[in-house]
Structure 1
Amino acid sequence: MISYNTKDWFTFIVRFHRSDTVSKLWPLMLAIGAYSGAVGWLEVEYFQLTDSAYVKNITVMHGLLGFVISMLLVFRTNTAYDRWWEGRKMWGALVNNSRNLAIKVGAMLPEDKAFFRKMIPNYAQILHEHLSNAETAQQLFDGLDLEIDHHKHKPNQVAKVMFDKVNQLYQSGKITGDQLIVLNAELQSFTDICGACERIKNTPIPYSYSAFLKKFIFFYVMTLPFGYAFSLGYYVVPVVIFIFYVLASLELIAEEIEDPFGGDENDLPTAKIASNIRKHIEEILQ
């Protein structure tokens, strides 16, 4: 995750980070600029169309569809941010539940602190690696023959080891039934968090919606020069480039944050969170 000062406007304006959408869109922006200039030259210079030409009225369509495309992009970005924020809440819950489990273990099982001092942070680290695996995002896709051994779900294995340990302590009489119920609730929350993160990871935005929005943006921008070349002349080139940059950037940002467990710079710092969990657990279970 990129660290920045939210109040430093000047840096945002003049600095282009490598994750900025300009670095990803500039080839398309150049191509669209050349296309817009060619359309403007053909209409104004070559065919010498006048202001009375019907093609000038195509701007009416852009005015009507502008509201539609803005609503679609608002829904797209809000949906993507909701997924990003839900992922952050899940990892925040993992931090809290790891601390709570460590505190309770430290009070109930002072002789077995070494085992849990190792295993509780291991769950967070293995969950990070599990969610970073590209194949985890494809487990629900049809027609893919993935070489995944589903019987070795690593986060489940770590949770199972911890529960086996707690159950052994109960059978040996080191903890009571009430204490078993308390510890079981904390351990169960780990699996619940893992399941919620997997739901975000392997359930992308429906293909039909994403494909339609991309096509909508493309055809909307491609028709802009036909109407605005009459009033803007060759200034239609930077105007169309800017409109494309704004619309396509919103779609790119949504694509990046809808999977908050990837390797993009704006994704959640799950590795850092897992490292913090290890540090906190080692402090509690000294």
Structure 2
Amino acid sequence: MIVTDKNKISWVWLLFHFRSSSFMVTWPRILTVTVTSMFVTYLELYYSIQEYTLTTTPFLLLGVIMGIFLAFRTNASYDRYWEGRKLWGALVNTSRSLTRQTCFMLNSVHDIMELQHLRQAFVKRVIAFVHALRCHLRNENCVEEIKKFLSPEDLSMVLQSIHRPLAILHQLGRDLAFARNRRWLNEFSYPFMDAQLNELSNILGSCERIKNTPIPFSYSVLIQRIVASYCLLLPFGLVETIGLLTPLVVLMISYAFFELDAIGNEIEDPFGLHPNDLPLTAISRNIEINLLELMNEHNRPEALKPKDDILL
């Protein structure tokens, strides 16, 4: 995610800021269309090849249709982006609630040391789940992230599993069952903590739904073809009307259409590593810091800070 101080940004800076923007992806397309329009303008003005020119009417009609398609595509992509952010916000809240319940609902007059060990192991397992979920969504290896929060035996079981976040979630359920069997967690409190585990499972499944169900490929292909055809043919409809200014107008129109298409492509998967994707690493680190603080752990990492205005 691009993080900037809006109070220190001028509109001039925004106009000429291209780093980490979708322009770095679309500029070859924009350049191709602009050069094509320059070539068409040259042929029309110096050779008067009028039989190959068009009127602006078909482009007006197609422009309206294409605007609707692009707006739908961008809105659909942003809905996925915002839903992903809400899910990770729910993950933050659920992790905190589960840790709070671990501190106050698990009680025992005897076995105080053993109970405290279970509390710490349980909370660290929640942290491991958060990191494993992030790596799962980004197709990364989570070994280095989770090994410091799990015992060697539990780590070995997780690494042998095909679905590592689900394996950790299963171990959390096992811990709750163990605490209930030892009478550290009474029958009235158990459903509340189990409901939090169900919420973690729902968050996991919802994130997987977003990641594994992209916008239909045929729709993306259609948008790409319509935008490319429109921008390439646009100079044939403008050259008789605006003459030498045709390349400039084509440049501005193609920039708008190609950028909207690129933005939709980039935020379609909000869990990636692009500059405009969700900062899952930073959110995971904040959860880790919060939970360790609730457990009075002094060895806590520092919160991640933006690097070159980008927070991953």
Q: Supply the RMSD in Å over aligned alpha carbons.
A: 1.9
2:17 equivalent among 6, 15, 24: 15
Residue 250 of structure 1: CA displacement? 0.4
Partner residue of 1:283 out of 293, 299, 305: 293
Q: Deviations over 1:94-125 (max 9, x none)?
A: 00000000001100226332112311111111
Mapped to 2, the partners of 1:262 and 1:127 lie a distance apart of 13
Aligned residue in 2 for 1:122: 128
Task: Output aligned runs, 1:208-223, within 5 Å.
Answer: 208-223=218-233
Whether contact under 8 Å (2:161, 2:167) holds in the other structure is no
Q: How does the TM-score come out when normalised to structure 1?
A: 0.88
Distance 1:273 1:31 in 2: 40
Matched, 1:162 2:145: no
Separation (CA, whole Å) in 2 of partners of 1:270 and 1:48: 56
**For each residue in 1:231-258, what CA deviation from the matched residue of structure 2 results, as whole angstroms up to 9, or x when unmatched?**
2222211211221111010010111111
Q: Which has the higher helix share?
A: 1
**1:1-286 mapped onto 2 (5 Å cutoff):** 1-6=1-6, 8=9, 9-17=11-19, 19-49=20-50, 55-57=53-55, 59-109=56-106, 111=116, 112-133=118-139, 151-286=161-296
Q: CA deviation at 1:21?
A: 2.4
Aligned twin of 2:110: none
Q: Which amino acid aligns with 1:16?
A: F
Structure 2: give runs of 5+ residues left out of the alignment: 108-115, 142-158, 297-312
Deviation at 1:55, TM superposition (A): 3.4
Return the offset for 1:27.
2.1
Alpha-carbon distance in structure 2 between the residues aligned to 1:281 and 1:208: 44
Task: Give 2:58's aligned amino acid.
Answer: M
* Structure 1 segments unaligned to the other structure (5+ residues): 136-148
Q: How many residues align?
A: 268
SS across alignment from 2:278: coil
Amino acid at match of 2:293: E
Residue 92 of structure 2 aligns to which amino acid in structure 1? V
Aligned-pair identity in percent equals 35
Distance in 1 (CA, whole Å) between partners of 2:265 and 2:35 is 27
Instruction: Indicate if the aligned counterparts of 2:81 and 2:267 stay in contact, CA closer than 8 A.
Output: yes
Describe the SS at the equivalent of 2:188. Answer: helix
Runs of 4+ in 1 over 4 A off after TM superposition: none
